[in-house]
Amino acid sequence: MHGFMGKLLVVNLTSGDISTVALNEGYAREFVGGAGLACRYLYDMVDADTDPLGSENPLFFMTGPLTGTRAPSCGRFVVCARSPLTGLWGEANSGGFFGPEMRFASYDGIIIKGKAPEPVYLHIADGKAALRDATYLWGKGTYETQEAIKKEVDDAKTKVACIGLAGENLAKYAAIMSDKGRAAARTGMGTVMGSKNLKAVAVRGNGQVPLAEEKRFKTIVQEMLSIFADDVLTEAFRVTGTAGTLDYLMLLGSTPNRYFTEGEFPEAEALSGSTMAETILTGPSTCYGCPVACGRKVEVKEGRYKLTETKGPEYETVAALGTLLLIDDLPAVAYLSHLCDAYGLDTISTGSTIAFAHYLFECGVIGPAETDSLALQWGDPDTVTDLIGMIARREGFGDTLAEGSRRLGQRYGAEELAAQVNGLEVGMHDLRAFSAMALVYATSPLGGSHNQSDMYWVESGRSLDELGIPMTDRFQVEGKAQTVARHQDWRSFCNALIVCYFSNAPAQSYIDLLVAATGWEVPLDDTLLAGERIWNLKRAFNCRLGLTRADDRLPQLLLQPLSEGGTQGHVPDLELMLREYYEVRDWDPVTGKPSREKLLSLGLGEMAKDLWGAGQ
Ligand code: SF4
């Protein structure tokens, strides 16, 4: 089986049993890898009765067919399970070096089942896997944990993915961290890991991914690298990081300010990627096999937010812990970002939930009695510092915040003011700036995720002409559903492959690499078909867990027009777009389920039977 190692490691933490199973080749052909493949497996293992924090919720670490090869920007892995934050499909993908190492250790994925009676970590090396005591690691931060494990196994090259205090204490949006600040952050996959008493997975291997056509693969990689070398966007990401897009996105009204209630924040210039490059940046950092190197290394030499060299904040973090809270102090934002990484917290959900609390405080919905006497004032990094620690420890008001913004809103009768969809805090791309993002958030299988479709890129000028995904007027709503659905299909394929969204190489190059790796015939249209199959599989997964048409909605806060900035007066007509979308998708407009015919046409017969019954 080319392009795959051909097996999955299965670890039962309850019994301590460790075994391997052959990778289902048929599933790989249909669902490619990554999140697509994980969803196909999890579909058979999770149902509406599965408690996301119960031992019965399996946790998947999965790679794609290009992970660990020389394919540019493909050194990624994904972690999937039923999400404790949303109760729906959970998926968090990460760069770094951990994913490739899983493949070098001869596994395409790791399935974690059950719950360990005491804290443990999984150690994989020299073709063997074993559970080791992690009681001495419990309570340690993510950086400390990685170093301690490398020391214990006496191998600095071991790659470690671990949780911090937030995962241990079951904060609902805990991340899994690896390498120098790389995060599988969204939907609380670190929380699932904590619920299993699994502190870390440490892996080391020496294998190689078997390729069907090695020479051809190498030639394609060389061609792609020369494209990257001349690409302006790649150069911009390398020099200024993803936070380099802040100025432009702010101009368009995409970057949210003051918890999505103000269209302008001129002081944000102090947070931009170019300011970072001129002040605290010590250099770029990269993931395995990636020529982009969009990661940041920063150092703050003095002052209140002093930091020895560590990972710097990327765009989402600069917005979530900066503009959303009206904090314009870059060293402070870098410090808050570092705290989240060390505790193992998703920076988007953390910043957004804290900002929501600030908004409720300002509106008088909550007061000092609820916040442990903390005065929540915009632009105050010291209070945010305290709150991040309280969330990770689930201490006082932090215990409420650790449940996420939907539950915070529910608790105080203000759910419609929470900037979340189905429990997941929306990404830092205001849907009033790009109407497509309204559909993206409302229909994403994760809730308010920008990682299932980054249509904001397309609508701000990065059209994908070879895929038939053009740039259209960003405020237009009519006819947009077709483009959004096509883009979601493409990104579902990318999340299965797994390729980083920041790569600007042609789509066809990645398809050529998949062909050379696996030996499969893969015409471009088949990639979109595979993406559509995965999209509908995730939808069927969620429908079975109780998601309906009524859940494809947005909170009122995000549908209020702003009186200033790049979106002044604009609010997308979500209902119109949804009507078109349901037609394009062939989803039932009453229940929200994919039609039986659609599921059957995609080869999802089992799902058709589950959702519609055996008859007709
Ligand atoms: S573009 Fe950035 S995040 Fe993506 S793989 Fe490369 S270094 Fe990692």
Tokens representing 209 are 């991914």
Atom number, ligand 1, closest to the C-alpha of residue 288: 5
Atom number, ligand 1, closest to the C-alpha of residue 242: 2
d(CA 581, CA 276): 40
Contacts from 377-382 at CB under 8 Å and sequence distance 24+? 378/258, 378/325, 378/326, 379/325, 379/326, 379/327, 379/328, 380/325, 380/327, 381/305, 381/325, 381/327, 381/329, 381/332, 381/333, 381/335, 381/336
- Give the pLDDT of residue 577: 97
d(CA 76, CA 94): 6
d(CA 206, CA 348): 35
- Give the pLDDT of residue 616: 53
For residue 233, is pLDDT > 90?
yes
For residue 476, is pLDDT > 80?
yes
Ligand 1 centroid–CA 73 distance in Å is 6
Span 279-306, average pLDDT: 97
Number of other residues whose CB lies within 10 A of the CB of residue 466: 11
Amino acid at 230: D
Ligand 1 centroid–CA 292 distance in Å is 6
Question: Beta 109-113 vs 7-12: how paired, if at all?
Answer: parallel
Strand, helix or coil for residue 142: helix
C-alpha dist (Å) from residue 119 to 68, 138, 251, 346, 425: 29, 7, 48, 22, 30
- Give the pLDDT of residue 189: 98
Ligand 1 centroid–CA 286 distance in Å is 6
Of 105, 208, 229, the C-alpha closest to 158 is: 105
Query: Which of 234, 502, 503, 510 has most ligand 1 atoms within 8 Å of CB, for mutation?
Result: 502
Span 289-309, average pLDDT: 96
- Give the pLDDT of residue 39: 98
Ligand 1 centroid–CA 463 distance in Å is 20
Residue 256 φ/ψ, nearest 5 degrees:
-80, 145
Where does the pLDDT of residue 203 fall: very low under 50, low under 70, confident under 90, or very high at 90 and above?
very high
Ligand 1 centroid–CA 95 distance in Å is 6
Q: In which residue are the tokens 């000092």 written?
A: 368
Contact 405, 352 (CB under 8 A): yes
Where does the pLDDT of residue 180 fall: very low under 50, low under 70, confident under 90, or very high at 90 and above?
confident
d(CA 141, CA 119): 15
- Give the pLDDT of residue 614: 85
- Give the pLDDT of residue 398: 98
Ligand 1 centroid–CA 295 distance in Å is 7
Amino acid at 608: A
Span 99-117, average pLDDT: 98
Span 182-190, average pLDDT: 98
d(CA 107, CA 478): 46
Of 561, 346, 337, the C-alpha closest to 449 is: 346
Percent of the chain with pLDDT over 90: 98
Contact 136, 157 (CB under 8 A): no
Ligand 1 centroid–CA 67 distance in Å is 13
Nearest-CA residue for atom 8 of ligand 1? 287
Ligand 1 pocket (Cβ < 6 Å) reads: 73, 95, 286-287, 290, 292-295, 500, 502
- Give the pLDDT of residue 314: 97
Question: Beta 295-300 vs 281-285: how paired, if at all?
Answer: antiparallel
- Give the pLDDT of residue 308: 96
- Give the pLDDT of residue 615: 66
For residue 525, is pLDDT > 80?
yes
Atom number, ligand 1, closest to the C-alpha of residue 290: 6
Ligand 1 centroid–CA 202 distance in Å is 22
Atom number, ligand 1, closest to the C-alpha of residue 286: 7
d(CA 608, CA 369): 51
pLDDT, the chain, mean:
97
For residue 46, is pLDDT > 90?
yes
Span 158-171, average pLDDT: 98
The set of residues, in sequence order, having a beta carbon less than 8 Å from that of 330 and lying 6+ positions away, is 270, 271, 275, 276, 279, 280, 322
Where does the pLDDT of residue 376 fall: very low under 50, low under 70, confident under 90, or very high at 90 and above?
very high
Contact 76, 496 (CB under 8 A): no
Ligand 1 centroid–CA 165 distance in Å is 26
Query: Which of 285, 290, 297, 510 has most ligand 1 atoms within 8 Å of CB, for mutation?
Result: 290
d(CA 391, CA 569): 36
Query: Which of 228, 238, 240, 292 has most ligand 1 atoms within 8 Å of CB, for mutation?
Result: 292
Which contiguous run of DSSP H or E holds residue 284?
strand 281-285
Nearest-CA residue for atom 5 of ligand 1? 73
d(CA 454, CA 452): 7
The dihedral formed by the CA atoms of 304, 307, 311 and 317, expressed in degrees to the nearest 10: -10
Q: Is 125 exposed, middle or buried (0-12, 13-18, 19+ CB in 10 A)?
A: middle
For residue 421, is pLDDT > 60?
yes
d(CA 169, CA 390): 11
DSSP output for 544-601: HTT--GGGS---GGGGSPPSSSTTTT----HHHHHHHHHHHHTB-TTT-PBPHHHHHH
For residue 404, is pLDDT > 70?
yes
Strand, helix or coil for residue 169: coil
Beginning with the edge strand found earlier in the chain, give each strand of the sheet holding 281-285 in spatial order: 281-285, 295-300, 307-311
Nearest-CA residue for atom 2 of ligand 1? 294
Ligand 1 centroid–CA 96 distance in Å is 8
- Give the pLDDT of residue 384: 98
Q: In which residue are the tokens 């944000």 written?
A: 268
Residue 417 φ/ψ, nearest 5 degrees:
-95, -5
